[in-house]
Amino acid sequence: HRQRRTGQMTASALMKVPGIGPRTIEKLFIRFKSIQGIEDAGFEKVAAEIGMSKAKLVMDALKALPGES
């Protein structure tokens, strides 16, 4: 339950990023399964999935999240 709740909170935090909408977040979660998966994949793989500009926004947002590395 804790993992699901954390994932939902993080996904909602990504939705607050201008330029990142529900379809982009859905694409990321389908491909990488989790926030940790997105971080582990790295910029290049995320950019291949959603484009370079959106990948930069996502990666910057993940770095800014409290408790994320």
| Tens digit of each residue's pLDDT (9 = 90 or more) over 41-55 | 999 999 999 999 999
Residues 6+ apart with CB under 8 A from 44: none
The H or E element that residue 35 is part of is helix 35-50
Q: What pLDDT score does 1 carry? A: 46
Q: Report d(CA 47, CA 8) in Å as an integer.
A: 22
Q: Is the whole model's pTM more than 0.85, yes or no? A: no
